[in-house]
Amino acid sequence: MRLNCFIDADNMNQLPEDINMLLSFVNMKLRDEYEDLDELCATLGVEKAWLIDRLATGGFEYNQQQKRFW
């Protein structure tokens, strides 16, 4: 895992380490609080590529039309 890709290390504590919990967390935030993945990443202070790569390790891909990871 490339933790050095975080823009703001203080936000690391906001993200669950468990891949399934991370999936649930990100999808909930996308559904309830953010317009898109770019806005979520900017607000949480994480690189979009890191988040996509991290969720890909669990077999999840981002669907831009659905605005969620599957």
What is the tens place of the pLDDT at every residue in 47-70? 999 999 999 999 999 999 999 999
pLDDT score at 14: 79
The closest of 61, 58, 49 to 16, measured between CA atoms, is 58
What is the C-alpha separation between 12 and 67, in angstroms, rounded? 22
The verdict on residue 38 lying in a domain is yes
- Residues contacting residue 14 through CB under 8 Å, at least 6 positions apart: 44
CB atoms within 10 A of CB 56: 13
The verdict on residue 6 lying in a domain is no
The verdict on residue 49 lying in a domain is yes
pLDDT score at 10: 54
Domain count, the chain: 1
The verdict on residue 9 lying in a domain is no
What is the C-alpha separation between 54 and 49, in angstroms, rounded? 8
The verdict on residue 12 lying in a domain is no
Q: Give the predicted TM-score (pTM) of the model.
A: 0.81
Q: What residue numbers bound the domain in which 27 lies?
A: 23-70
Per-residue pLDDT for 2 more than 70?
no
Q: Render pLDDT for 16-49 as a digit per residue (tens, 0 to 9).
A: 999 999 999 999 999 999 999 999 999 999 999 9
The verdict on residue 54 lying in a domain is yes
Our CA angle for 65, 40, 32, nearest 5°, is 70
The verdict on residue 60 lying in a domain is yes
